[in-house]
Structure 1
Amino acid sequence: MALDSAFDLEAHRGGRALLPENTLPAFANALSMGVDTLELDVGVTADGEVVVSHERGLNPDLARDAAGGYVAAPGTPFVKLRLDEVRTYDVGQIRPDSPYAKQFPEQRAVEGTRIPTLKEVFALVEKSGNTRVRFNIETKIDPNHPDESPDPQAFVARLLGVIDAAGFSDRVMIQSFDWRTLLLVQKQAPKLPTVYLTLQRGSAPTNALDRATDWTAGFNPADHGGSLPRTIKAAGGAIWSPYFGDVTAALVKEAHELGLRVVVWTVNKADDMARMIEIGVDGIISDRPDLLRQVAGDKGIALPAGTPVSP
């Protein structure tokens, strides 16, 4: 995949402010609208199927059983469920009384929506006829919860197998907060760009500048001048994907001087989008790809054409 200088407009989980996250209706909406990249997350079931979900298991705010009840927290991990079991849950409507529902009050419910496989997302893109859209696929694996997903080697093997079988290797990036999976991708599929996710703020930061964490596969920013861009470069990354609140113009410049692209997450307000574009980021991941198209267009950025498709 050519990592050219073009701006990368990414629909986060398919554009979850608009339609149910990580579902075929959301991805169809993003394709119809026109985005450069579908951003999505994957896990692996007990029978080895790669499914699309931000959580490592059933999300109590999204998944309803056959009787219409939302699953109890914390939700069963996919690694303990077969695909046919996963298929019995409806993820087309947010739990109405949840904080998630308040976060995205305009999301349109789509009753009867199931958790898709990665194969089905690839098939939807083929159906759309879109030969340009890319995939930014996040491995949902947590080094602190090894029982909730396959080990990194098994996870990466399953994921790369699906990508290769679909013939989409030239259009895929693999991203993760768990850098172990990225190192494996670099060894096993060196043509796939790796995207190093980082988070330094909030209640559960995954990255510190003065030490290695459980997430960084032994890489310590202190060994690289306390610089995340330099650490990611040393690890072999192609793209740095930080939380947008952690980013400054100086850091973007430093990353660019190292040959890294910078794609920030998750930016949902127009003024923040404009500021990120002005400081020189190479792409933005957003729950509001419709708004991002408006802001990017106003900044003179060429917008990707839509390819209308139904889920």
Structure 2
Amino acid sequence: MKRLLPRRIRTVVLCAPLLLSSSCVLAFDLQGHRGARGLMPENTLAAFEAGASAGVSTLELDIAVTADGIPVISHDPRLNPAFTRDEKGAWIQGQGPAIHALRLDELRRYDVGRLDPGSRYAAGLPRQMPRDGQRIPTLRELLRLLGTPAFAARPLQLNIETKSDPFHPELQPPPEEFVTRIVAVLREAGFERRATLQSFDWRTLAAARRLAPEIPRACLSTPKTLQDPAWTDGRRQADFASAPAMAADAGCAIWSPAFAGLDAAQVNEAHRLGLAVLPWTVNRPEDMKRLIDLGVDGLISDEPDLALPLLREKGLAVAPLPRP
């Protein structure tokens, strides 16, 4: 199947000389979901090291903000009892406290380095290895890690999700403040040219477009969020011909849909509109193969190592999306 190239974000072509001719391959942005959640405890420094070792081009992560205004890396707005232990080593019970209600020093008391073996959550991640003593890291700590010599040879990109819920404003700062705090850390470390910002809450993407236009944005979506203007910053699905058209109208460079319903017509439409297509969260090799054949520009996976043989078979090289 011929792979269509986005117009505004052109797919990189990598070439290596071979005697009298040259061999060229298209680039594919392989992203480690929450670092590499299938291999190491999610959104921990251990998971980001595992993702880098697995050969990803981009580390995907989520941001929450503590009560004292510090961006930390967590998918859940509340501490998750499936992998969180208290200072005594006991699994927390019931609904965990909101991260936005905890100071960083309070958050540091919890260990997130092991799955509760009795949880349903653990059953879905059979390859994840424990790493006791892992704490929820700050965004600054991850950037410092990526600045060390061990990571210098192959600079990784970051795909940063604002964990923002328009129906629960008590769990995060307002959109402008949320984005301001993330961008400040990125700029302080000189990382703004190595990051994208993504969200289901497109209000935060609108704020990012105003506050940091140099950082590309990815519109995350599910069929449910596309139907509710609270998630799409006021856009109504009935006013647009397609989901990619909504993402393009929002000023996104990337459309990141749930992978299950994605088809060739949607991929082609996104490319026609100049959008790269980056589905989530793709863990089974048969799904990876189907999406690669559709011509997606990358994918987000808990187990990115499983994609590497398929990419080699298709003649695709792991590399981040070119910046617009």
TM-score, L = length of structure 1 = 0.92
Query: Which of 216, 221, 226 is the matching residue for 2:232?
Result: 216
Question: What letter matches 2:290 in structure 1?
Answer: R
Residue 213 of structure 1 deviates from its aligned partner by 3.0
**Which one of the candidate residues 94, 98, 104 is aligned to 1:77?**
98
Corresponding residue for residue 271 of structure 2: 256
Instruction: Give distance in 1, aligned partners of 2:56 and 2:303.
Output: 11
Q: Where do residues 1-311 of structure 1 align in structure 2 (5 Å cutoff)?
A: 3-5=9-11, 6-127=27-148, 128-200=151-223, 205-208=224-227, 212-225=228-241, 227-303=242-318
Supply the distance in 2 between the matched residues of 1:121 and 1:87 (Cα, whole angstroms).
15
- Alpha-carbon distance in 2 for matches of 1:285, 1:4: 19
Unaligned runs of 5+ in 1: 306-311
Aligned-partner residue type, residue 78 of structure 2: G
Specify the code of the residue in structure 1 equivalent to 2:129.
R
TM-score (norm 2): 0.88
Equivalent residue of 2:256, what SS?
Answer: strand
CA distance in 2, matches of 1:32, 1:304: 14
SS of the aligned residue for 1:245 comes to coil
Post-superposition shift, 1:3? 4.5
- 1:236-268: CA deviations, max 9, x gaps? 111000000121000000000000000000000
Task: Report the CA distance between 1:106 and its aligned residue.
Answer: 1.9
- Residues 108-139 of structure 1: CA deviation (Å, up to 9, x unaligned): 00011111011111111111214531100000
Name the structure 2 match of 1:308.
Answer: none
Moved over 3 A (4+): none
Q: Which amino acid aligns with 1:161?
A: A
How far apart are residue 294 of structure 1 and its match?
A: 1.9
Deviations 1:57-97 (A, max 9, x none): 21111111011112222211111100011111000001111
Q: CA RMSD in A?
A: 1.5
Letter in 2 for 1:238: A
What one-letter code is carried by the residue in structure 1 that aligns with 2:121? Y
Q: Which moved more, 1:263-272 or 1:29-38?
A: 29-38
Contact 1:77 1:149 in 2 (8 A): no
Q: Counterpart of 2:129 in 1: which secondary structure?
A: coil
Counterpart of 1:81, as a letter, is L
SS of aligned partner of 1:38: strand
For the residues of structure 2 that align with 1:299 and 1:131, how far apart are their CA atoms?
A: 22
- Structure 2, unmatched stretches of 5+, are 1-7, 12-26
For residues 25-66 of structure 1, give each alpha carbon's deviation from its aligned partner in whole angstroms, at most 9, with x where no partner exists.
Answer: 110111123211000000000111110000012111111101
Larger Rg: 2
